[in-house]
Amino acid sequence: MTALKNKRQKREEYRAAIQQDDGATELPRKKFYRQRAHANPFSDHQLIYPPSPDHMDWSSLYPDYVVPEEEDASPAEGQDASAKEDEASLADKPPRRLTQDVEVADIGCGFGGLLIALAPVMPQTLILGLEIRVSVTQYVQDRIKVLRQQNAASPLPQKPYSNIACLRANTMKFLPNFFRKAQLSKIFICFPDPHFKVRKHKQRIVSATLNSEYAYVLRPGGVVYTITDVPDLHEWMVGHFAKHLSFERLTTEEEDADPCVAIMRTETEEGKKVERHSGAKFVACFRRKEELPYEGEVGDVKMLE
């Protein structure tokens, strides 16, 4: 018991020191952030999430992209009474705006390997990792903090790794709370928990309901990237996306030509582990189709033949 307590105490002290050291240049050590691989997405994790995307404050995650205060002042004229009441019901100060929106989401980002690899490949794009596990989220946040510090003297207008961030969230419940309709261009689902038991299949991150949420936050032409080393899970994901009217699968040629697919295969921690054990990786990517055309008035809508 004493040994366990000492180990826990060492983890807490190490992580506290990393967070307090603004000038840290040594990457965090993963052994101090270990956590069980499985998390029940239906449990109450005491998460904090915005009531809508407009209420989300991204400023602490992407400080280099915050609109200057003098340009971010909200005009007082033209506001009706209801709008003022809505503002009064929110926090004392409205969230700071960014110069651009988050466009890429890595769902279940794990220890952040994909985020780190995508950052220099997509330097003008804001990329967000979403992870439900507390310790793992903190590891990725500390890792990004140190990488930013290591590159603080960079002459580039936007410092390396300033375009990536990690947030603790349960995307199975709250994805539309963070992203507006058609906001994202890419969603990555890399080596998700397979939940092998049939009674656990409802916890899989791909389902008919969740695919509709992905379709909602993805813009037409946007892509969902999936990869796993579990054949049954691969067939499950392919089957559910194939049945969804908003998605079409990319051809093998399109996948091979996409640099993000190559990065996804090799840069995640799980992908590297599969590589070490000479395991197989199964990839499937799905494009968000254009909105289906409709005719008629609201309340009497029918699909065109």
Beta carbons within 8 Å of 180's beta carbon, 6+ residues apart: 53, 54, 101, 217
Gap between the Cα atoms of 164 and 61, Å rounded: 8
Q: By CB neighbour count within 10 A (0-12 exposed, 13-18 middle, 19+ buried), where does 265 fall?
A: middle
Active site residue 54: no
**Phi and psi based region of residue 195 (left: phi greater than 0; alpha: psi -120 to 50; beta: remaining):** left
Is there a binding annotation on residue 26? no
What count of other Cβ atoms lies within 10 Å of the Cβ of residue 14? 16
**For residue 202, which of 40, 45, 49 has the smallest C-alpha distance?**
40
Question: Is residue 170 a known part of a binding site?
Answer: yes
Structure tokens at 158: 């936007």
131 is in an annotated binding site: yes
**Annotated catalytic residue, options 106, 142, 193, 229:** 193
How far is 233 from 23, CA to CA, in rounded Å? Answer: 43
Residue 132 labelled as part of a binding site: yes
Residue 177, annotated as binding a ligand: no
Q: Name the residue among 187, 253, 252, 175 with its Cα closest to residue 219.
A: 187
Residue 283 makes CB contacts below 8 A (sequence gap 6+) with 225, 226, 227, 255, 261, 264, 265
Q: How far is CA 273 from the centre of its chain?
A: 22
Please indicate if the annotation marks 297 as binding a ligand.
Answer: no
Residue the block writes with tokens 């309709």 = 181
226 has binding-site annotation: no
Q: Which residues are annotated binding-site positions for S-adenosyl-L-methionine?
A: 108, 131-132, 170-171, 190, 268-270
Q: Which residues are annotated binding-site positions?
A: 108, 131-132, 170-171, 190, 268-270
For the annotated catalytic residues, the residue numbers are 193
